[in-house]
A and B are shown apart, each in its own frame.
Chain A
Amino acid sequence: MTKINTSYNRRSFLKSMAVTGGGMVLGFSWLSGCRPEETKVATGPALPDNWYDVNAYLKIGENGTVTIMTPNPEFGQNIKTSMPMIVAEELDVEWEQVISEQAPHNAEKFGFQFTGGSRGISSRWEGLRMAGATARQMLREAAAQTWSVPVAEVTTAAGMLYHEASERSAGYGEMAELAATLPVPEEVDLKDIKDFSIIGHSKKNVDAKKIVTGQPLFALDHYEEGMHVAMIVHPPAFGQRYVSIKNLDEVKSMTGIHDVFPIKTYKDGFAKGGFDTNAFPELVAIVGKTTWEVMQAKRAIEVEWEPFADYTETVMGFRGDTSTRKVPAGLESTAAHQTAMEEAAARPGEVVREDGDPKGAFARASRVIERTYSAPFLAHNCMEPINCFAKVENGKVWIAGPLQAPGLIEGTIAARMDLTPEDIDIEMTRMGGGFGRRAYSHYMLEAALIAQQAGVPVKLMYTREDDMTNGIYRPTYQATYRAALGENNELLAFHVKAGGIPESPLFANRFPAGAIDNYLAEEWSLDSNITIGAFRAPRSNFMAGAEQSFLDELAEAMGKDPIDFRLELLQRAENDPVGENNDYDAARYAGVLELVRDKAGWRQPAPGVHRGVSAYFCHNSYAAHVLDLTVENDRPVVQKVTCAIDCGIVVNPDAAVNMAEGGIVDGIGNAFFGELTFTDGVPDKRNFDQYRMIRMEEAPKAIDVHFVESDVNPTGLGEPPFPPIFGAVANALYKATGERKYRQPFLGSGNLPG
């Protein structure tokens, strides 16, 4: 066992005052109380008459049923199953005794309730284990007191307490009432990894039954008496702002329309938080009785927009520091972006890292290989369009909606509506996808403002077109790689220069930094009024494709096998690293390449199959893919992807495989088709007839996922398998066609060629 001091995050273990009589404080969900006709199908453990709150994360019923809170919001990564698994493991209960619940937003109890950055499991690992372990310890203490035996002699197994010498036993439920009154122990034992019986053993998605039977799980499914439907109209082009509604009276008099008005999302001079990104802070809101009626009004409304002038906005950092962000005027177009990026790339960039003497090495090179790769803006296109329910009554705001981080919007709402955070209650509903988009939850503030002005509770819904044209995209990027080869084809120097609109994608300290004596990394960026945001490993998901394509080109030029070449570089980085700030573990990096090489049978591809390999490190985890592709009727068909991942301990293996499969499919889709272009500030794509998404027939025929066995604490999985798949696609396509693709999307955004 591992002793662990519980002072870490001790506030989470604050016990509620009223421990007897239900203690529903922690599980309270005001929204679920007003949902229509709940599940017709009974599932899960029997409900007790009374719950006893042992700590913020769990309560135990007198019948032994345990409810475990998932502190972070769920967007499909399955933490609502895997987080309670971690607690249940240390609590030492049977998984079948557990009910999983989404915790309410409560920073005091649950800290930063954020889903994103592949940080869910890794950031909660220790705290969730402790929540289970401290509760187990308190139950043992309660049993020891009840039986008048030393606590050290009380053991547990599968939700039961035992005192072997006196042959006594009791269920957790019998001791829960007393346990809940005991002090939180200063120190607790954690299980040895080898003793895990829940962690590392696949458990089914706790909400699967509700999902497959169409139960209301999403904010968009919420209805309540008096609720109206709200929609917004935003400027059609980035670079424009609201002026006036031209036919206000006409629209207001349409059937079912309750009100129509402009809203202003921020007060003048408001210092935005880093996640208050919003291209359209002034909108028109339409409120009506039904969705279809509001859609008709939305079609009929005529709004005057005008171009805005250059401005700067103040942005607040997490430490209270402020910076300014320049927002240029203008109606931007993709063609102009591409020209500007080429010009920027030709100018000297900002040097971020320089090892050895790259200039000298390039000067004495026998051969210099230079390649430039680029990728367009991408829209998230979560299947559940942006939406949010809001009710404003008696100076209180209730919000229920899909969001990745309630802590990032609460203060913004409070500032705008002259309230305190205590006046704002945010319920985190299951998200119909997130991918980074829902970390920027301006729509929650919009819903609250609309509800306030309309004087009725509203469910704000963006149409698909609103969702796709609202901004917060993955930026457009470009990277130029250069390699200097010596007389004997040896790698003398490596140079990467990367930039984008409006941010650089460069990670200067990532591989192959550390593996090459002479290394230079430069970056640049260009301002834009098109808003950007996180997108399943932004920056990484471009850099991996570019870098892993270039390494393949380099291996070919040097006459080396692509995997051998990468492993040679990694061996150098492990044995004799160049520089000091290399941000990866070369041995773990090599580990996934070796595993994928062996599992894919790298040296024996099937006849007619074109293979591409790629590996990348991001979000603290390592992933490598071998992608097998054939060409049928001039059309690339992905036969199989073999994948190796090192993300430390895997909590829920089958769900982890599912996530990796999803990342692979998502990556192939974006590599083949993903693209958002602009003409005079207007997004050229507005819905799925124009924005090409990967579909069943283009998904790999088979995906074979392997995890490196590890006793390292979990490091993250949502993002890591995604970036390297772009490189695997590019490298396989090159093998298949003999032609290297430099610009994403590789197949264009239309239908498949042929």
Chain B
Amino acid sequence: MASYTLSVNGKTHQVDVDPNTPILWVLRDHLRLVGTKYGCGIAQCGACTIHVDGVAMRSCSLPVSQAADRAITTIEGLSEQGTHPVQEAWREHDVPQCGYCQAGQIMSAAALLKDIPNPSDEDIDAMMSGNICRCGTYTRIKAAIKTAAAKS
């Protein structure tokens, strides 16, 4: 066990956990921020995507020891009122089916648009192919990203 100071969505938290604990489980079990999802535990499905210092990362494979003192953003902190352009575009296109993967999809998409404000189809494919949607909403996700890009 070790003590870590975490900065999550602009708030500082103190946790006492095994240094190897993935930040995903610190967020979910200790900080009760459950918007970030567990899907595979091996960085293959993207459901657990968060931003660390503005970069999309798979929280299931990032030990807490490497996340301390870095700015972590989760789906709950992506915007104050749920009005990030990506979130709004998701609603405009009514993207979700079951909804389980969508927080991870949105976090990946938001990171993509931060780096590439007007992504091509290839840019979108390259970034978003790390996120699995079992319901198959990919065409809507792509359309929503383009809408968000046009608006932001």
Stretch of A128-136, A558-566, A690-698, A707-715 at the chain-chain interface: A690-698
Please count how many residues in chain A sit with their CB below 8 Å of the partner chain's CB atoms: 69
Q: Which of B94, B97, B124 contacts A696 (CB 8 A)?
A: B124
Q: Quick check: A214 and B35 within 8 Å, CB to CB?
A: yes
Bound CA–CA A243/B34 (angstroms) = 37
Bound CA–CA A76/B135 (angstroms) = 8
Bound CA–CA A659/B98 (angstroms) = 11
A211-B102, A214-B75, A223-B32 given; A661·B139 CB < 8 A: yes
> Does B117 make an interface contact (CB < 8 A)?
no
Bound CA–CA A41/B80 (angstroms) = 9
Bound CA–CA A712/B126 (angstroms) = 43
Residues on the A chain within 8 Å of B71, using CB: none
Query: Which of A207, A384, A666 has the largest count of B CB atoms less than 10 A from its CB?
Result: A384
> Does B52 make an interface contact (CB < 8 A)?
no
Give min CB distance, B32 to chain A, whole Å: 5
> Does A368 make an interface contact (CB < 8 A)?
no
Bound CA–CA A216/B132 (angstroms) = 20
Q: Quick check: A292 and B18 within 8 Å, CB to CB?
A: yes
Bound CA–CA A205/B102 (angstroms) = 14
Residues on the B chain within 8 Å of A291, using CB: 25, 28-29, 38
Give min CB distance, A409 to chain B, whole Å: 20
Please count how many residues in chain B sit with their CB below 8 Å of the partner chain's CB atoms: 62
Give min CB distance, A653 to chain B, whole Å: 11
Give min CB distance, B43 to chain A, whole Å: 9
Tell me how many residue pairs across A and B have CB atoms closer than 8 Å.
195
Bound CA–CA A290/B129 (angstroms) = 31
> Does A255 make an interface contact (CB < 8 A)?
yes
Residues on the A chain within 8 Å of B91, using CB: 204, 208-209, 212
Q: Which of B1, B40, B94, B136 contacts A208 (CB 8 A)?
A: B94
A212-B102, A702-B139 given; A383·B17 CB < 8 A: no
> Does A381 make an interface contact (CB < 8 A)?
yes
Residues of A contacting B: mostly:
loop
Bound CA–CA A435/B134 (angstroms) = 10
Query: Quick one: CB contact mask for A658-674 with B, threshold 8 Å, 1 for yes?
Result: 11011111100100000
Q: Quick check: A693 and B102 within 8 Å, CB to CB?
A: no
Q: Which of B33, B74, B99, B142 contacts A432 (CB 8 A)?
A: B99
Query: Quick one: CB contact mask for B54-85 with A, threshold 8 Å, 1 for yes?
Result: 00000000000000000000111010011000
> Does A382 make an interface contact (CB < 8 A)?
yes
Residues on the B chain within 8 Å of A255, using CB: 1, 18
Give min CB distance, A430 to chain B, whole Å: 7
Q: Which of A202, A207, A290, A696 contacts B29 (CB 8 A)?
A: A290
Query: Quick one: CB contact mask for A213-237 with B, threshold 8 Å, 1 for yes?
Result: 1111110110100000100000000
Q: Which of A208, A215, A384 contacts B37 (CB 8 A)?
A: A384
Q: Quick check: B101 and A383 within 8 Å, CB to CB?
A: yes
Interface residues in A445-504 (C-beta closer than 8 Å to B):
461, 463-464
Give min CB distance, A277 to chain B, whole Å: 21
Give min CB distance, A645 to chain B, whole Å: 16
Rank and list the top 10 A-B pairs by shortest CB-CB distance, nearest first: A214-B35, A665-B136, A432-B100, A76-B98, A214-B75, A76-B97, A699-B138, A211-B99, A688-B44, A662-B136
Give 11 pairs: A residue, B residue, CB < 8 Å, sorted on A: A76-B135, A255-B1, A383-B101, A432-B37, A464-B39, A654-B94, A661-B136, A665-B138, A688-B44, A697-B125, A697-B126
